[in-house]
Amino acid sequence: MIRHKLAIIVGLVIVLTFAGTTAGYAFWTAPAAVSGSVATKAIAVTETMPVSFGGTLSGTTAITGAITITNTGSVASAFATAATTASAAGDTKLATAITVAAWPTANPANCPTSSPSGTVTTGTWANFPPLTGTLAPASVASFCVRSSLASATGVSSDVVTPTITATLTAGTSWSASAQVSAKLTYTAPPPSVTWYQLKNVATQRCVTVSSSAARSSIVSTDCSNPATLGGQAFTLGRSGTTSIVTYLAQALSIAISSGGNGKPAITAATTSGSGQSWTVSTTGSYYTFTNVNSDRCLADDSTSAGSAVTVDNCWPNPSQQFTLEPIQ
Amino acid sequence: MISLQRFGRSARRRPSNTMQRTVHSALWTGAIGCLVAIAIAVSASAGSYALWNGATNVTGGSMSAGSAAITINGSTTATLALGALGPGESTTTPLTIANTGSTPVSLAVTDTAIGTDAASLAVAPQLTATLTSVADPTRCQAGLTGGSTGTLTGFTTTSAPIVLAKDANATLCLQLSLATSAPSTMQGKSAAFTMSLTGTQVAP
């Protein structure tokens, strides 16, 4: 027992002795620092039109212009275009009818009028696919843009204004846009018109406009033979109640300035007013024109050439009947 | 010995001579053991015991303290030239760390402070820092992976520290990236920062 206690005592002495004699360490540290400044770039774009893609369209002539997109910022960016088209007529008929082709070019000032080359993007001005790519800072992308009107069937005269907007994007939040636009004008050809001599059945003379000025007198004169396009040429302007348009001044038509029998006919600007609207009726091959305002009929009561054409109460008399003699 | 014998006589039972010798032997053994232990302890301790003195003169001897010191690109306060960034872009710069002290050190970025101006405070949260060890500066290029990565604001290293031997160099590549989702309002700004690198003496 004693031996055991002594052994324990000896062990404790050894443990405690060495436990109190472990070495102490103080770690040194060495600081250093780096400083810097990180700048962020900026995104910016310009779009120009070295050659306008606008102009006047006809049935066969294409208009070729060009656009140039320039990355004027400091960050490489993706770009995409979007086209919108305004219409003076307020519809999409013309925009839909215009075929657009665009293709990349290194020489936007001189786009060929021949067939496009390279990758060609096609559509219409009502739906034009985006032109896409990437642009490093200070670099450009140019495209030739060609508009053509292959078929204008059913298309009325209109002026459309396509706008091509180029947008650069970097990351998910940076973007910049610029745009160009041009007007494309289309004038529909006039409908085919047949011009007639209005030949009075009673006098066998023709209704004649004395001059191209408004408020000119309308008289009865001998019919020219052969008929020519001049003071004796008229056409019916619209269906139903119609205007009787004179060839001599095609914005003018036959009008009655006031009611009453014997009032002379004159020329006046063609409008839908009742004084220059006429109801056309036929008896066989004879035509009668009833003025909507006065409810009287166009009449040639003259006894000699040069007398005024007037209006009178309507009655079935040859003086108020006319034949329409086409002018070839 | 006498006192032990007296102690033995005062016991109720008189031990036999054999037992008596055994106890004596154990006591002597224990006492000697204690003395040896104490002697060893004293000799191993850092204390100074001047029981015996002897003196001699040492001529020309000197003793100097060790040191821990590091430099970054040859300086303890290096300034970096960094490229500008767009969304999703990265810029890199190599940092040459030199152990100029007399002891091995482990390297760690212990803090990154951001400038207090409005632009720095706005842009810094959009910046991600990556610090990676590379074999040489030419390999410090965008797209590095590994090492420690985190927002520049308060950036510290989280990967295993690099231990740099005395007189040794190491190249770290610092990459800063602007978030792809950085707001548009971040354009044309700059963020100033100071990254603190600490070399800590490695325990011997």
Give the span between the Cα atoms of B120 and B126, in whole angstroms: 10
Q: Residue A174: its chain B contacts at CB < 8 A?
A: 86-87, 182, 184, 187
Q: Which residues contact A244 (CB under 8 A, 6 or more apart)?
A: A198, A234, A235, A236, A237, A253, A254, A276, A278, A289
Whether A131 is covered by a domain: the verdict is yes
B70-201 topology per CATH = Immunoglobulin-like (2.60.40)
> Cα dihedral sign for A313, A318, A319, A322?
positive
A160 shares its domain with A200: no
How do the pLDDT tens digits run along chain B, 204 residues long? 333 343 334 444 444 555 555 555 655 665 565 455 554 544 444 444 444 444 545 455 555 667 889 999 999 999 998 999 999 999 999 999 999 999 999 999 999 999 999 999 999 999 999 999 999 999 999 988 889 999 999 999 988 888 999 999 999 999 999 999 999 999 999 999 999 999 999 876
| Nearest C-alpha neighbor of A65 from the set A148, A5, A128 | A148
Query: B75-91 burial, b if ≥16 CB within 10 A, otherwise e?
Result: eeebebebebbbbbbbb
Domain boundaries, chain B: 2-42, 70-201
| Chain A residues closer than 8 Å to B182 by CB | 40, 171, 173-174
Domain assignment present for residue A310? The answer is: yes
Last residue of a domain, one of A154, A186, A218: A186
Q: pLDDT tens digit string along A92-139?
A: 999 999 999 999 999 999 998 877 878 999 999 999 999 999 999 999
Q: Which 8-state DSSP code applies to residue B184? A: G
B178 vs A40: CB contact, 8 Å cut-off?
yes
Q: What is the pTM of this model?
A: 0.64
Residue A209 domain boundaries? 196-326
Which CATH number does the domain housing residue A278 bear?
2.80.10.50
**Chain A residues closer than 8 Å to B72 by CB:** 32-34
With CB atoms and an 8 Å threshold, state whether A41 touches B201. no
Same domain (yes/no): A51, A177: yes
CA A318 to chain centre: 51
Q: Residue A254: count other Cβ atoms within 10 Å of its Cβ.
A: 25
User: What is the edge-to-edge ordering of all strands in the sheet holding A63-71?
Assistant: A45-51, A63-71, A140-148, A99-105, A121-124
Domain boundary among A186, A216, A246: A186
Q: Which of residues 48-107 of B touch A (CB under 8 A)?
A: 66-73, 75-82, 84-89, 91, 93, 95, 97, 101, 103, 105
- Report how many domains make up chain A: 2
Q: Are residues A170 and A49 in the same domain?
A: yes
Same domain, A176 and A214: no
- When scoring A8, A25, A37, A38 by the number of chain B Cβ atoms within 10 A, the one with the most, hence best to mutate, is A38
Q: Which residue from B minimizes the CA distance to A19?
A: B41
Helix, strand counts (H, E) of chain A: 2, 25
Question: A54 and A150, same structural domain?
Answer: yes
Say yes or no: A170 and A83 in one domain.
Answer: yes
How close is the nearest chain A Cα to the Cα of B191, in Å? 5
* Residue A119, both tokens: 């990758």
